Amino acid sequence: ASVFKVLNVAEKNDAAKRISDILSGHQYQVRNGLSRFNKIYEFNYYMLGQNCSISFTSLSGHLLNYDFTGIYRKWYSCHPLSLFDVAVEKNVTENMVDIKRTLEREVRNSQALVIWTDCDREGENIGFEIINICRNIKSNIPVYRARFSEITDRSIKSACNNLQQPDQRVSDAVDVRQELDLRIGAAFTRFQTLRLQKVFPNTLADKLISYGSCQFPTLGFVVERYKAREQFQPEDFWKIEGQYFFWRGWRVCKSNNSINVPILNDICFRHFLKTAVVHTITQNEADGPITSTFSWKRNRLFNELACQVLYANCLGDAGCCHGNQREHRWRPLAMDTVELEKLASRKLRINAKETMKIAESLYTQGYISYPRTETNSFPKDFNLERLVQEQTSHPDWGGFASRLLGLNGGPQPRNGHKSDQAHPPIHPTKAAPHLTGNNARIYELITRHFLACCHRDAKGQETSVEIEVGGESFSVQGLMIIERNYLEVYHYDRWNGKIIAVYEIGDQFEPTDVRMTSGRTTAPSLTEADLISLMDKHGIGTDATHAEHIETIKQRMYVGLTNDQRFLPGELGMGLVEGYDLMGYAMSRPELRAELEADLRRICDGTANKNDVLQRHISTYRSVFQEAIQKADKLDEALSAYFGDATRVE
């Protein structure tokens, strides 16, 4: 009987090699494909209900890209407005021709095709590129889709045993996005570049001035925050603070209605109590005084005279005590991509592009789950114990992992409410003792976050005490941590104890010190983590593309970074945003792109038609483009503020 041959295709060579290693039990053979970067791994494996001869090869990302047909690819071939209507086609990119030829050669002798691309929108679309190329050679070949969220023995073998069908609707959504990005981007880029090169020949003659429906709103956020900072006028303000001094080693009698304030080493405050009964006074001067500073409920006033009047009312008056408590510090939610990017930026000072590059490498090596996910909730049947067990031998957090397994009920994650129905939250899949540099730091962040998420909230007695003095309200918080729980492993969070006195509800006492202080307001700024939060909030791009769009506006020199890693728009970026604002169009605002992203999700879930969405958005942007041409002098006007006098063009 002839051998049943199955062609398997992954998105990258590293993934093909790793999956082949798992399925073959390290017994695969290697031969060259027509692309020297994409090998073919061969072995035998039981699949599709029979023993199969497996060939496993790969791509290097997208094989095909949309482009205009014929002469319309040339910049001077037509008016840019025509680009909203002329025909487009998908072509093999020049550096992918050898990979395409490899697929065509290998599929001729295969009886089935299995797609192993990443299980997200882009991966599904790449999968259909493979399918179309292979079916052009063998039209009736059966096609299957392997779905997996991590490259581990368990996950890969499970995917083999549960092969599914590829999802055409998800691929359609990517086709719509790609075609719109081509038409909109090409039309506005040609219009901007060709016009501004003539209007500012001394400074922009050789400059490509690109437009993208994601990069421009991203740029808009930077410009908006920069302008808020530039227009910011610092203001002097005044505030009132109340202070009380006390010593360790004093005791105070508490009545039944007292606030259960944390007491460390029998703490008591030294003030002039008028109602409490003090006894067993054993002051230890060596302990020294401790200060409770009460914050003013008004926070601050911008009128010095008004503050002085209220301050005068507080002097010499007695305070009346009220209070409340809270006892939890919440552990982190299960990690999605946006949270990974923000935490890496804030806590590790690693930018989003580098973070995702490292995360994808860790995923391909089988150390973490798929890092591009919108999910922050683990399924109920998820085997958390196995994942925690993998970490018990680690020298830094192994003990914590062991204690987590010993908890009553075992690991119980704090889940959010988001799910992309494709991948679980980001988590470690196995121990990684030999990683170094930023690879180790990203892996550590993911692992500590996962263990913390699965533990318990920190518990403490955090007391908020409020007093009224001279008709003004003040408050102070004190904390005694009872159970650190997740904080033992998650050193990215801080919850530090703060000693305050024992206060009784209804206590009357005079402040030890009341003072009026002053300060100045500070301007807002924008970090990468702030920018990612804005993009996520307003629906600009997806969890998979935030880092890419940020990198694009940096490469185009539309924005730069200050020494403390805060975004600053360049002259060209400022001028472009201001120019479109002068035209009256919100091209740098997020609404247009957010509407598209919402429509793409509807295509994926089957509630919107691919062609309807495509034509509606083409029509919207065409109308905007037509009016932009009529008001192009507004763009000239805005940029002349940065590049000098504009040369008049018709």
pLDDT higher than threshold 80 for residue 367? yes
Query: What is the distance between the alpha carbons of residues 405 and 385, in angstroms, rounded to a whole number?
Result: 7
Percent of the chain with pLDDT over 70: 86
Query: What is the distance between the alpha carbons of residues 289 and 270, in angstroms, rounded to a whole number?
Result: 9
Pair 8, 24: CB distance under 8 Å: no
Domains of the chain and any CATH numbers: 5-60+95-166 (3.40.50.140), 175-231+525-643 (1.10.460.10), 236-248+288-331+458-520 (2.70.20.10), 337-454 (1.10.290.10)
Please report, as a single letter, which amino acid is at residue 556.
Answer: R
Among the ranges given (129-133, 553-557, 562-566), the one the predictor scored with the smallest mean pLDDT: 562-566
Pair 49, 67: CB distance under 8 Å: no
501: confidence class by pLDDT, cuts 50, 70, 90: low
Mean pLDDT estimate for the chain: 84
pLDDT at 245: 54
pLDDT, tens digit, 9 for 90 and up, residues 189-226: 999 999 999 999 888 888 889 988 888 889 989 998 88
**Phi, psi for 58 (deg, rounded to 5):** -155, 170
pLDDT higher than threshold 80 for residue 286? no
Please report, as a single letter, which amino acid is at residue 296.
Answer: W
Query: What is the distance between the alpha carbons of residues 278 and 263, in angstroms, rounded to a whole number?
Result: 16
Among the ranges given (56-70, 73-87, 319-333), the one the predictor scored with the smallest mean pLDDT: 319-333
pLDDT higher than threshold 90 for residue 294? no
Percent of the chain with pLDDT over 90: 54
Q: Mean pLDDT over residues 56-72, rounded?
A: 93
pLDDT, tens digit, 9 for 90 and up, residues 20-45: 999 999 999 999 999 999 999 999 99
524: confidence class by pLDDT, cuts 50, 70, 90: confident
pLDDT, tens digit, 9 for 90 and up, residues 405-423: 999 888 999 998 888 778 8
**Top-confidence residue, 227 or 460:** 227
pLDDT higher than threshold 70 for residue 343? yes
Active site (catalytic) residues? 370
Q: Mean pLDDT over residues 597-601, rounded?
A: 92
Q: Mean pLDDT over residues 152-180, rounded?
A: 95
Query: What is the distance between the alpha carbons of residues 473 and 112, in angstroms, rounded to a whole number?
Result: 75
**Phi, psi for 481 (deg, rounded to 5):** -80, 125
User: What pTM does this model have?
Assistant: 0.79
Q: Mean pLDDT over residues 308-329, rounded?
A: 69
